Amino acid sequence: MLSRQWQFGEFVGEDAGSAVQVDVNADTHPLDGWRPATEFAFRPYDPGAEPLERLVEEEPAAPGTDPRLRVTAGARFARQLADAALAAKLPVFAVRYGFTGGHPASRGLAAALHRRLPDGAALATGLRVLTGPDGAAAAAEAQALGLDAAARAALAAPAAAWLKWWQTRAPAPAQPEGATGRRPAAWNDNRLEYAFSVRASGLGDTELAASEYTGGRLEWYALDAVPTFAPGEGTEPHDLFLRGVPAPARYGGMPANRFWEMEDARIDLGSVDAAPHDLGRLMMVAYATAGGNVLGELVVPAPTRRGPAGPTGIDGGIPRRGRRRRPVLRT
Give the model's pLDDT for residue 322: 39
Give the model's pLDDT for residue 178: 40
How far is 38 from 286, CA to CA, in rounded Å?
41
pLDDT band at 191 (very low <50, low <70, confident <90, very high): confident
| Average pLDDT score, the chain | 77
Measured in whole angstroms, the distance separating CA 68 from the mean position of its chain's CA atoms is: 25
Helix (H) or strand (E) holding 209: strand 206-213
Q: How many CB atoms lie within 10 A of CB 25?
A: 14
In degrees, rounded to 5, the angle at the alpha carbon of residue 186 between the alpha carbons of residues 180 and 187 is 125
Give the count of alpha carbons within 13 A of 227, CB side only: 3
Q: Which of 139-143, 217-221, 286-290, 317-321 has the highest mean pLDDT?
A: 139-143
- Eight-class DSSP state of 258: S
Say whether pLDDT at 75 is over 90.
Answer: yes
Q: What is the pLDDT of residues 194-246, one digit of tens each?
A: 899 998 887 877 889 998 888 888 888 889 988 876 666 666 777 888 888 88
Write the single-letter amino acid at 110: A
192: left (phi over 0), alpha (psi -120 to 50) or beta: left
Q: What is the pLDDT of residues 87-125, one digit of tens each?
A: 999 999 999 998 876 554 456 777 788 888 999 889 999
How far is 219 from 211, CA to CA, in rounded Å?
13
Point out which residues pair with 67 in neighbouring strands. none
The answer to whether 97 and 145 are in contact (CB under 8 A) is: no
Q: Rounded to the nearest 10 degrees, how much is the dihedral formed by the CA atoms of 190, 40, 181, 163?
A: -20
How far is 265 from 252, CA to CA, in rounded Å?
10
Write the single-letter amino acid at 260: W
Question: Cα separations (Å) of 152 from 60, 64, 149, 160, 204?
Answer: 36, 25, 5, 12, 63
How far is 197 from 158, CA to CA, in rounded Å?
49
Give the model's pLDDT for residue 1: 63
Give the model's pLDDT for residue 161: 93
Residues 6+ away with beta carbon under 8 Å from 63: 69, 169, 170, 171
Predicted model pTM: 0.48
Q: What is the pLDDT of residues 144-176, one digit of tens each?
A: 998 899 999 999 999 999 999 998 888 655 444
3-class SS of residue 29: strand
Q: What is the pLDDT of residues 279-305, one digit of tens each?
A: 888 888 887 877 666 778 888 776 655
